[in-house]
């Protein structure tokens, strides 16, 4: 379960009351409102601030913050340098060098923050929405190493496109946290999908989920030892300075929203318009095949080296 059960029960109670009163028009209106709010919030997160068919968001009375604007390149570069210094340029999970600084919560998504907060308030409750609103608006967190992970290009693309998520497990002292790696399979739905009344639930879920499988997907990536990464593996993220440790609450928000994005296929409907984030010029298909489209060969060689090394170790 992603959203809190108690919150979902309260929403169902609202529906049941209207249904028992035979106010079917109100029931339909409630479902329409929920659908529009959910779609707008999910797509605002998945598409880094771009939204489609959005309903009116909640009114957020929090003080205005510059996080709504695209952060200056110097700020982004400084945060990226601090991230690479913290992790010595190595990927948290593969242990390979030449990692990339990856945002836990995409900065560009803050352009449509109100729509994301509307989603959180609807399904997670107003207290949760208020807590995450304050967190996301805290520029010293979102534009610092607390909002950055060190990932290789493959995992970076998977994370940005809801093919992978990290479940925060616990804080360990002041200098580290423990996370669990999960590969996310894509659902059979898209935000624009129309679901027939007689459609069975198992036909809508990602393959394996309906059968209570132990994971959502395999991971075709390897560690520097040559061993393959697996869903469910745990890792510790450390920093010498407690202020540089990836933020536990941001990871929790990412964990919840990325699973929703994967289930409803929102990442598949991303707009091809200009992207404010610096995650351009490369792509992977669903099987992890590298489709870099730049004239530089350094990154291509880096990925081949990693893949060949893993195969040699297995051999």
pLDDT digits (tens, 9 = 90+) for 28-84: 888 888 888 888 898 889 886 554 444 555 545 544 444 444 555 666 678 889 999
pLDDT digits (tens, 9 = 90+) for 213-233: 444 555 667 777 778 888 899
From 100, 156, 104, 98, select the one nearest 290 (Cα to Cα).
Answer: 156
Residue 131's SS3 state is helix
From 245, 214, 244, select the one nearest 230 (Cα to Cα).
Answer: 214
Q: Residue 193: its pLDDT value, please?
A: 60
Structural domain spans, the chain: 5-59+73-273+281-314
Q: Residue 70: its pLDDT value, please?
A: 52
Residue 113's SS3 state is helix
Residue 237 burial class via C-beta count within 10 angstroms: exposed 0-12, middle 13-18, buried 19 and up: buried
In the predicted structure, residue 256 carries a pLDDT above the cut 70: yes
φ/ψ of 77, rounded to 5, equals: -65, -40
Q: Residue 33: its pLDDT value, please?
A: 86
> What is the separation of C-alpha 108 from the centre of its chain, rounded to a whole number of angstroms?
13
In the predicted structure, residue 95 carries a pLDDT above the cut 90: yes
- Mean pLDDT, residues 110-132: 91
Residue 6's pLDDT band, with cuts at 50, 70 and 90, is confident
φ/ψ of 284, rounded to 5, equals: -130, 150
Residue 152 burial class via C-beta count within 10 angstroms: exposed 0-12, middle 13-18, buried 19 and up: buried
Q: Which comes out higher in pLDDT, residue 210 or 163?
A: 163
| pTM (two decimals) | 0.72
Q: CB 286: neighbour CB atoms within 10 A?
A: 13
How far apart CA 28 and CA 115 sit, in angstroms, is 21
| Encoded tokens for 144 | 């610092």
């Amino acid at each position: 379960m992603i959203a809190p059960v108690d919150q979902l029960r309260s929403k169902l109670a609202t529906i049941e009351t209207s249904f028992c009163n035979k106010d079917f028009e109100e029931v339909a209106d409630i479902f329409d409102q929920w659908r529009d709010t959910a779609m707008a919030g999910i797509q605002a997160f998945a598409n880094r601030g771009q939204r489609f068919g959005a309903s009116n968001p909640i009114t957020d009375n929090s003080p205005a913050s510059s996080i709504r604007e695209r952060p200056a390149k110097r700020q982004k570069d400084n945060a990226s340098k601090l991230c690479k210094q913290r992790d010595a340029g190595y990927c948290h999970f593969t242990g390979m060098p030449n990692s990339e600084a990856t945002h836990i919560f995409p900065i560009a998504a803050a352009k449509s923050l109100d729509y994301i907060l509307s989603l959180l308030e609807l399904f997670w409750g107003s207290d949760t929405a208020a807590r995450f609103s304050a967190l996301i608006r805290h520029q010293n967190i979102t534009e610092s190493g607390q909002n950055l992970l060190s990932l290789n290009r493959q995992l970076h693309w998977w994370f940005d496109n809801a093919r992978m998520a990290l479940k925060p497990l616990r804080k360990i002292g002041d200098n580290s946290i423990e996370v669990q790696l999960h590969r996310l399979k894509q659902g059979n739905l898209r935000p624009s999908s129309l679901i027939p009344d007689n459609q069975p639930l198992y036909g809508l879920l990602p393959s394996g989920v309906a059968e209570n499988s132990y994971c959502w997907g395999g991971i075709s990536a390897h560690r520097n030892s040559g061993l393959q990464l697996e869903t469910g593996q745990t890792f510790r993220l450390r920093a010498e300075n407690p202020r540089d440790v990836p933020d536990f609450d941001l990871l929790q928000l990412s964990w919840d929203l990325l699973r929703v994005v994967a289930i409803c296929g929102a990442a598949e409907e991303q707009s091809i318009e200009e992207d404010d984030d610096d995650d351009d010029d490369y792509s992977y298909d669903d099987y992890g095949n590298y489709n870099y489209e730049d004239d530089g060969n350094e990154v291509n060689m880096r990925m081949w080296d990693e893949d060949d090394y893993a195969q040699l170790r297995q051999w």
